[in-house]
Amino acid sequence: MQKILFILCFLPTIFVSSQNWDINTLKKINNWDNGFIRNSSKVLSSTTPYVAIGVPAVMAIYGGIVKNEPLLKNALYVGSSVFEAIVLTYSMKYMIDRERPFEKYPDKIDPRHRPSSSSFPSAHTAMAFSLATSLSIKYPKWYVIAPSATWACAVGIARLNDGVHYPSDVIAGAVVGAGCAVVNIYINHWMQTWLFPQKKTATNNIVAWY
């Protein structure tokens, strides 16, 4: 009982400290005024949705042209992981409805653009980590994992440099995105058995007669 009371007494302090860390960390990254960083953040923020959706789309188109079923299955897995991350993040945004940092702290944060949706979690980061994680799961090679992880982390930092998310938004987005990719392994297995039914072999047909 004493431990519970101790924790309850210090919860407000912990909450305030976490809020201070959130805004202070964001302020530092938002103040990175190097031209290369600013331009990179702008490019990453504007292209993330196109990359996250475009990669599995290109995989599916190419797989369909060359009739590569494994590639089509991988495209389905990657694309559905990204889709699930988008649906989940925007559902959370609607329910939590957290103010953007530039709205709550207009005197501290300089936004590069002003998104109309709520802040928590970061949808861009969720899409990036969902794509990076699902690609790394299907193609566990260093030359896939390293660039994917680097790009996903860079997207998260770009959202902070743009002043449109708190660090906690970005961390939550990364967890949601990676989590969707992992959970989707099991969901996708069911989807693939429905969309890609196993063809019966001649041996199976013969056995069926006995």
Tens of pLDDT along 63-106? 999 999 899 999 999 999 999 999 999 999 999 999 999 999 99
Residue 14 lies in a domain: no
Residue 80 lies in a domain: yes
Residue 98 lies in a domain: yes
Residue 209 lies in a domain: no
State the pLDDT confidence band at 9, using cuts at 50, 70 and 90: very low
Residue 181 lies in a domain: yes
Residue 41 lies in a domain: no
117-166 pLDDT, tens digit each: 999 999 999 999 999 999 999 999 999 999 999 999 999 999 999 999 99
16-53 pLDDT, tens digit each: 456 789 999 999 999 998 889 999 999 999 999 999 99
Predicted model pTM: 0.84
Q: In total, how many domains does the chain have?
A: 1
**DSSP codes, the chain:** -HHHHHHHHHHHHHHHHHHHHHHHHHHHHHT---HHHHHHHHHHHHHHHHHHHHHHHHHHHHHHHTT-HHHHHHHHHHHHHHHHHHHHHHHHHHHH-PPPHHHH-TTT---SS--SS--SS-HHHHHHHHHHHHHHHHS--HHHHHHHHHHHHHHHHHHHHTTSS-HHHHHHHHHHHHHHHHHHHHHHHHHHHHHSPPPPPHHHHHHHT-
Residue 188: the pLDDT is: 74
Residue 23 lies in a domain: no
Residue 16 lies in a domain: no
